[in-house]
Structure 1
Amino acid sequence: MKPRPRTSTPRRLLSAGIGLVVLSVLVFVNRPMVAFGADALHDFSINRESYKQKYGHWSRLPVPQGFRVNAIHAALLNTGKVLIVAGSGNNRDNFEAGTFRTVLYDPAKDSFSEVPTPTDVFCAGHTFLPNGNLLIAGGTKSYEVLEKNITHAAGVMKIKNESATGGPRAFPKGTTLLSADGTAYRTRDDLTVPAATTMKHGDEVMTHAGAAEVWVDAVEEGDGPIVDHPAQYTVSGLTGADKRNIYGLADKITREKQEYGGDKTSYEFDPRTERYVRTGDMVEHRWYPTLAEMPGGDVLAVSGLDEFGRMLPGHNERYLKDQRRWVDAPELKRVFPTYPALHLMKDGKLFFSGSNAGYGSDTEGRTPGLWNLKNNTFKEVPGLRDPRMTETSSSVLLPPAQDQKVMIFGGGEVGESAVSTARTAVADLDQPAPVYEPGPDLPHPARYLSTVILPDDTVFTTGGSSGYRGGRYGDKTRSDLFNAQIYRPGTGKFETAAESSVGRNYHSEALLLPDGRVITMGSDPLYDPSGRNPGTFEQRIEVYSPPYLFKGDRPVIGGAPEAVQRGTTFAVATPDAGRVRTARLVRPSAVTHVTDLDQRSVALDITPATGGLALSVPKARGLVPSGWYMLFLTDAEGVPSVGRWIRVR
């Protein structure tokens, strides 16, 4: 075989290399121009009418500097204003300074105002009451302390009083307790210990000691005062019978991490006066609780951490709305992880979708199921794929509410795991033996995904991150997701929506506005975009306009009653009666930690009437809880009217 003749390939390669170098230099020199051109093309594309009609459109809300807060909670009031609650905003300096914040945003005027905030409602629970007030209960009594910052051993001490005749005993902050070897500990707060009580059991009289708990800290620094077993302690300065009758007990005193402690204050936020109104205190201190409305309008408080950062072991309580006070509900003892998603069904049961915010046992109380409040029974709903990945997931009662279907979206492994899932699933709770059936996967695994019911019977999903608090997931230093999608229950499929420009993960919210737009806010990442430095709370606010707002004129509601009764028919004046295809009552959102139990969309039967339409409200109280709703009329193209506020009694 003859050798191949030499060619000029090396010269051609050299020429090509020179050309590439020159081109690279030109690109480098013109990089700002290239980037500018790409950005300009992107802006042109997303602002085309045809693009907005298919994908919708995002815009940035200009927030004045003085009203930028760490949005931890958000609720749409029946005045049309958005309540944005920060409390201390997950900021220890704010907590210690007593700086607690709440801001009102008025979409109609595009204005902001400040609301006096009496205590730290950071990580409280909330839900709307039938009168339109927002019940807000629990919150933060103390911030967590990491192990590396604990210099003095500490623990929870139970002070007991075995005297039934001496009355309650008050001990000031700093009271000293001594161990058997003389090690000294001091109480962190003032404390009142109730007197003992006597009870007759048959012929025998029994004394039950009064007891109260308090944090104690070792006087001496270091590991010396650590106690790893249950022990009894004497109260310094007591003499005589008091020395025998009053003493301390502690299971352990350590330098372990101290969790957030829950508060027990409770308020109704009044949309008319725009003020917090104090109610009776909760029975238990609660941090990360869920408040779930019951069919009669009272509210059930479930789960949370107590004032010492311990999970409440199934101790639930009820808010009596007519008396504005909380009472214990031992007949409804049931364990759930924190912020459990409990959806009210038409038969009055609460469906636990499995979604939760994280704290609690990694096994107990995490199984989805129907909770019967009449007899405290729980019927499990099986079939959920990735059943351990329900932490930081979201769930929603799919529209219309009459279908009684709940959908769960994404979620992550228990604890501070980077693992998450793209799984969705739907449970048809009208079935005799409901199970979760697979839904379409999300485009990416997602935690903290916000889900918002829209007036056209779709669900808008946005935000979230693949990793824990936007942290590393796979090879990414920040795992925030910017994609958004719209789920259509009728087809069981997602449709792509316009991408947002702001990442949203932990402590983020999204809710529907009366004009049909969606407002998004918050996000509390662990790290900055580099993945190396601490993150800062996201205070920018974006608003999404769904595709239906770019598809022509909207139906108009000319007149409607301010209040209607369940099970009755009412008249609505509209010049667009002939084009209206659906009528929906959409309950406003009250959302935190992507838990939103209030939002629901109820279908109304439509009958033609003189000058408009006659709309019929279902009569099931569990389907249409009493309270304020937005009435939307929607045409065949899915274009909704502006929402009209109506109170259902």
Structure 2
Amino acid sequence: MAYRPSKRLKKTALGVGAVGLLAALNAPAALSFAEEKYHDYKIAQPGYKKQYGSWKILDMPEEYQLNSIHAALLHTGKVLLVAGSGNNQKQFDAGTFETTLWDPKDNSFKKIETPEDFFCAGHAQLPDGRLLVAGGTARYEVLGDAVERAGGGMRIKNESPDKAVTLKKGTRFRSPTGVEYVTQADVTVPKAKREFEVTYSKKGVMKPWKTKVTAAEVRVFVEAVKEGPSGLTTQAAQYEVVGLKGKDADNVYGIAQKLTTKDQDFQGIKAAYEFDPKAEKYVPVDPMKKARWYPTLVTLDDGKVLAVSGLDEVGVVDPGDNELYDPKTKKWSKGPTRYFPTYPALFLTKGGKLFYPAANAGYGPADKGREPGIWDLEKNTFEKVPGLTDINQTETASSLLLPPAQDQKVMILGGGGVGESTKSTARTALIDLKDENPAFEEGPRLPQGTRYLNSVILPDDSVFTTGGSRDYRGRGASDILKAQFYDPESNSFTPAADPTVGRNYHSEALLLPDGRVAVFGSDPLFANKQNSKLGTFEQRVEIYTPPYLHKNGDDRPVLGDGPQELDQHGRATFEAEDPERIEQARLMRPSAVTHVTDVEQRSIALKVSKSKDSVTVTVPDDKALVPPGWYMVFVTDSEGTPSEAQWIHVKQ
């Protein structure tokens, strides 16, 4: 008798066959799913976290999410996330500028009224704990075929020594041939300078005074009212201000050399504000003398802030007209003249000099301002230093003053070619500025060529580096989902847990007072490997918990209450539960970071003495090593496990 499967068995066999067929068809997807699940399982294990650390996405309510262009840690322990218009033309046109204040202690958030477009501004920590924010965006770039009207820079002259003149955005200028151009920003032209010249005859008799008037001048970007070639001009000409009459019409006029339909770059603003961490608001101060977009602001040993580089009010890289901000007077003055590409990394070093490792971001010719060196601000001299390889790939590089700052060693990591270059380098290099003839030496190479790498100094003297991309703005799906630790003592890298979010252009990372690292932003050009779909700004915030916080659970050194200021000997005593456990102490300056440029962060080794229930730290008396401001004090044990930070104010 022939064997006939039952109806039930037929169905079962058919089901097994169908499953087998589906499994065969979807084998790659099933394998990928299984690998992903195994990876998730592996990275969740305590042993893995103790060795590599862990990542977690911050639960941030949608109404507080923003395009984080700038991130700064305040001495209240809160983090200021600044977007301005967030590289979003529609938000710029609507005047929608954003800032969010985040408190990592309880994960609370607050929207901050933002008075200017601080997109691509500069910022620096001030001696009293306020954050100086200066510069930003006056106008978005217009490129290629999108340029429909001739435009360019116009110098507005005022020959009246009696009064300044304010011209509102939209003021029209008329050429000798009748072509009209309109201003794109409000502008105030100071009154002309009047000088009296006294002369004497041969017999010593004073002649009647002669009056010399020198016209005041400012620049503004203008654009032809009509589209097309009618507004093109390559000839210098004088332009009348439409609507002015009488003496005003004679005294105020415009001069332009060339108005074209070439690419029109971003343009900067002069506005400056201090963010008050206690009142939690922006407070206006005197504007800068020059408009700046993509400037670096660096705090000096006397507490003043130097503003360097940036695109000006007509979209041209500043020629070197740097300026100084005095937080006592809230005013700006002329600084030492020197040219740098935009967002240059400038580190305060011994003797108050600034070191430029050639790391920068953004704009400037490939053959100017790209060499590293030591800038003596008092003499305004620049001593070039040799040894840096891949000198043509320092744009979008990461750089930092290695811990402890007393060693005076600076490191540069990765970088890429100028502009939209596809080049990127795995090179790292170090320089010891204490050497009589300092020169760069090769460091350990990164796993691959990397632009936009973020580097954060940790309390145990290691450097955590994360993210970046191989190509310009993550082009070709080139984000690097890798992180690693750099150990200055062994001069080597070790792997860290992989981040889950890609980070490239407009990304930032900073150390939190509890010893974790927060990573923000990313502005990819495209969203796929084929570069056929436009990218979107990454608004998720990812928190990295280093291995030192996984080793012993919640068991970490405890630094208790203490003073908020140093005594006359530069000391501060804090309560401590187990002083004998404490091995070392570090004074760490809070970050103010943008475009992977963070010239604020530094870690200073402190002398430590202990009693049965307290620990006393002594801060070096060297303003070039410890510029005035608020700092975090961390103590660590023999395993490198840090306490939570206590804040202390180092005054001028």
Same fold judged by TM-score > 0.5? yes
Alignment pair present for 1:73 and 2:70 = yes
- Measured after TM superposition, the shift of residue 244 of structure 1 is 5.8
* 2:25 match: secondary structure: helix
1:341 aligns with 2:345: yes
Q: Deviation at 1:192?
A: 4.4
- Secondary structure at the aligned position of 1:52 is classed as helix
Q: Corresponding residue for 1:534?
A: 534
Two-structure CA RMSD over aligned residues (Å): 2.2
Q: Does structure 1 residue 182 correspond to structure 2 residue 186? A: no
1:566–1:620 contact (8 Å) kept in structure 2: no
Are the aligned partners of 2:456 and 2:511 in contact in 1 as well (CA < 8 Å)? yes
Q: Distance in 2 between matches of 1:83 and 1:248?
A: 41
Aligned CA distance change for structure 1 residues 263 and 25 (closer, same or farther; 3 Å): same
TM superposition score normalised by structure 2:
0.91
**Residue correspondence of structure 1 range 411-422 to structure 2 within 5 A:** 411-422=415-426
Alignment deviations for residues 416-449 of structure 1 (CA, whole Å, 9 cap, x no partner): 1111100000010111111111100100111110
Match of 1:57 in 2: 54
Q: Indicate conservation of the 8 Å contact 2:392/2:417, yes or no.
A: yes
Partner of 2:393: 389
**2: CA distance, partners of 1:276 / 1:236:** 36
Output the TM-score relative to the length of structure 1.
Answer: 0.91
Cα deviation, 1:6-60, whole Å, max 9, x if unaligned, reads xxxxxxxxxxxxxxx9988633246655443222211111111111111111111
Q: Contact conserved, 1:566 with 1:624, CA < 8 A, in 2?
A: no
How far, CA to CA, are the matches of 1:169 and 1:304 in structure 2? 26
**Residue matched to 2:281:** 275
Q: Which residue does 2:4 correspond to in 1?
A: none
Residues 417-456 of structure 1: pairs in structure 2 closer than 5 A: 417-456=421-460
In structure 1, how many angstroms separate the alpha carbons of the residues matched to 2:80 and 2:613? 36
1:366 paired with 2:383, answer no
Q: In 2, distance between residues paired with 1:113 and 1:246? A: 46
Alpha-carbon distance between aligned partners in 1 of 2:229 and 2:394, rounded to the nearest angstrom: 38
- Give, in whole Å, the separation in 2 of the partners of 1:39 and 1:172: 58
Q: 1:305 aligns with which of 290, 296, 311?
A: 311
| TM-fit CA distance, 1:205 | 5.0
Counterpart in 2 of 1:199?
A: 195
| Cα separation, partners in 2 of 1:620 and 1:444, compared to 1, 3 Å | same
Q: Pick from 581, 584, 587: which aligns with 2:586?
A: 584
Letter in 1 for 2:268: G
Q: Quick one: which of 603, 606, 627 aligns to 1:604?
A: 606
Letter of the structure 2 residue corresponding to residue 109 of structure 1: D
Verify the 8 A CA contact 2:565 2:572 in the aligned structure 1.
no
Amino acid at match of 1:393: A
Q: Does 1:101 align with 2:107?
A: no
1:202 CA drift (Å) = 7.0
CA drift of 1:148 comes to 1.5
Aligned residue number for residue 557 of structure 1: 559
Equivalent position of 2:360 in the other structure: 356
Give 1:227 deviation, angstroms: 0.8
Whichever residue aligns with residue 481 of structure 2, its letter is F
Taking the aligned partners of 1:527 and 1:562, their CA distance within structure 2 comes to: 47
Q: Secondary structure at the match of 2:617?
A: strand
Q: Is the 8 A contact 2:23 2:30 kept in 1?
A: no
Q: Which moved more, 1:489-498 or 1:262-271?
A: 262-271
Match of 1:85 among 82, 86, 91: 82
The amino acid across from 1:544 in the alignment is Y
Moved more, 341-350 or 168-177: 168-177
Q: Is 1:319 aligned to 2:316, yes or no?
A: no
Q: Which of 627, 632, 645 in structure 1 is aligned with 2:634?
A: 632
Q: Is the 8 A contact 2:173 2:240 kept in 1?
A: yes
Residues 446, 566 of structure 1: CA spacing in aligned structure 2 closer, same or farther, 3 A cutoff?
farther
In structure 2, the gaps of 5 or more residues are 1-17, 200-209
Q: 1:171–1:354: structure 2 CA closer, same or farther, 3 Å change rule?
A: closer
Name the CA distance, whole Å, in 1 between partners of 2:648 and 2:289.
Answer: 34
Cα distance in 2, alignment partners of residues 617 and 375 from structure 1: 29
After TM superposition, give the deviation of residue 273 of structure 1 in Å: 1.4
C-alpha distance in structure 2 between counterparts of 1:48 and 1:194, whole Å:
67
| Contact 2:113/2:281 (<8 A) preserved | yes
CA distance in 2, matches of 1:169, 1:545: 56
Q: Deviations over 1:289-342 (max 9, x none)?
A: 11110101111111111111111110111111111122222xx01111111111
- Out of 133, 136, 139, the position equivalent to 1:136 is 133
Aligned to 1:4: none
User: CA separation of 1:77/1:566 partners in 2, compared to 1, >3 Å: closer, same or farther?
Assistant: farther
